[in-house]
Amino acid sequence: MNLVAKEYVATRTKKDGVLILSEMAGASKEMNEALMINPNNFEQIADAIKQALEMPIEEQISRNTILQKRLERYSVEKWAHEFMKSLDATKNLGQVIVSEKLNDKLVERMLSDYKKAKSKLILLDYDGTLAGFQDNPQNASPDAALIKLLDRLNEMPNTDMVIISGRDKETFEKWFENKDYSLITDHGVWLRKRTKEWEALERLKNDWMENIRPILETFVDRTPGTFIEEKKYSLAWHYRKADPELAQIRTIELNTVLTSLISNNDLTVLKGNKVIEIKSSSVNKGRAASRLLSVKDYDFIFTIGDDWTDEYMFEEVPEGSYTVKVGF
């Protein structure tokens, strides 16, 4: 378990000193502030030693302070508790829900139910569902064909169409400013009904970003093709353009680091389609959907999305609703 590395950090009472750690060591997954090296790359080892010898004392203290706080939080007792908790949770696993591929027969039944219904709700995810993914998320703006489709859905009688997305409010304001669509943004923080003003569904703080952003920045530096998308209430690390094998390694590392770092905070890590997002655990699309369902009764509900953030929405809608997962 490479405990020597952790012991070194724990014994630095003055918070000075520099840890050089192999990226292949298990401890590297939660000690990202160390100088990471490939032990087979002699030039990289030499460069890391030089960097360590020349590192200002202020930077040494900064790195070791973060490392010591993380090691103190993620103690052996906490590790054992979480391990046993996860093991115990396997006893309560429910029946596995098997997805059914959407075919002509299901579509016909769905359309029939829609026509017979008197009050209908359609919940639409945006990225990966209404629009394809782009290397730059801001390039995924709706085209004319999508706007035409949304206009038709929005004009259907007795139908409430809602676009529910992790996108920020400012982006949707820019894209749909002249449309009277109902919009939910930031995974459920903001709601705009038709042409009404925006209302906050949740009250959130974002001061935690100052501590999380430097972690993501180090992973951007170590993983070519990745970048950070900063929203008002969440941070997202995109790796769509990164080398697949390297991205797989880095996502495991980042998830381990973030999990230990946010263990005592009201935050959660969401794994989307080629993206890892950190946001408040008190906000999700399911909570937002439940608010819509609490103020009006619907006899037809259709929801569609493409990743795990939409599973909260699928879980919240009542039995008998149509929940469609896009992709494989």
Q: Which residues are catalytic?
A: 125
In whole angstroms, give the CA distance from residue 133 to residue 174.
18
The b/e string for 176-208 (b: 16+ C-beta within 10 A; e otherwise) is beebebbbbbbbbbbbbbeeeeeeebbebeeeb
In three-state form (DSSP H/G/I as H, E/B as E, the rest C), the secondary structure along 227-279 is: EEEECCCEEEEECCCCCHHHHHHHHHHHHHHHHHHCCCCCEEEEEECCEEEEE
Give, in degrees to the nearest 5, the angle at Cα 231 between 292 and 140: 80
Pairing of strands 275-280, 300-305: unpaired
Joined tokens for residue 265: 């905070």
Nearest to 278 by CA among 183, 224, 204, 225: 204
Joined tokens for residue 192: 């705009």
Q: Computed from CA positions of residues 176, 177, 179, 184, in that sequence, does the dihedral angle turn out positive or negative?
A: positive
H helical segments located in the chain: 3-10, 42-54, 57-73, 76-89, 104-116, 144-154, 169-175, 209-222, 244-261, 285-295, 311-316
For residue 149, which amino acid is it?
A: L
